[in-house]
Amino acid sequence: AQKITQTQPGMFVQEKEAVTLDCTYDTSDPSYGLFWYKQPSSGEMIFLIYQGSYDQQNATEGRYSLNFQKARKSANLVISASQLGDSAMYFCAMRPSSYKLIFGSGTRLLVRP
């Protein structure tokens, strides 16, 4: 079965500190992609970062990095130097071979000033 699991319904982080959002996945596809999206209260889905299953190095995009541990089937998102504008819902998603994007349940992040 294809599944994405996010075990943290909500997280708090102090402004300027780093935070890790957890994501584990399950798939039998040899080739897949992992995404992180940010969804503010407006509802739009904002792409943050992508990791391919065959990528040797962890993906980084500015303040976002993805801690990819293939053997453990985890793809945690690390946000460095949190900003107030980072407060939002964060979704981990997986693209299996069918290309139907599967989403986790999400983590609500609140950045404290």
Partner 1 sequence: GAVVSQHPSWVICKSGTSVKIECRSLDFQATTMFWYRQFPKQSLMLMATSNEGSKATYEQGVEKDKFLINHASLTLSTLTVTSAHPEDSSFYICSATLGVYGYTFGSGTRLTVV
Mask 11-40, x = binds partner 1 (CB under 8 A)?
----------------------x-x-----
Q: Find out whether 81 and 97 touch, Cβ atoms under 8 Å.
A: no
Residues 65-84 that bind partner 1 (CB under 8 A): none
Tell me: does residue 54 bind partner 1 (CB under 8 A): no
Give the Cα separation of 74 and 98 in Å (integer).
20
Judged by CB under 8 A, the residue of 2, 67, 74, 103 near partner 1 is 103
> For partner 1, which stretch binds (CB under 8 A), given 22-30, 55-63, 70-78, 97-105?
97-105
Contact 93, 50 (CB under 8 A): no
Q: Which of 7, 4, 22 is nearest to 68 (CA)?
A: 22
Output the smallest distance, CB 104 to partner 1, in A.
7
Give the distance between the most distant pair of CA atoms in the chain: 43
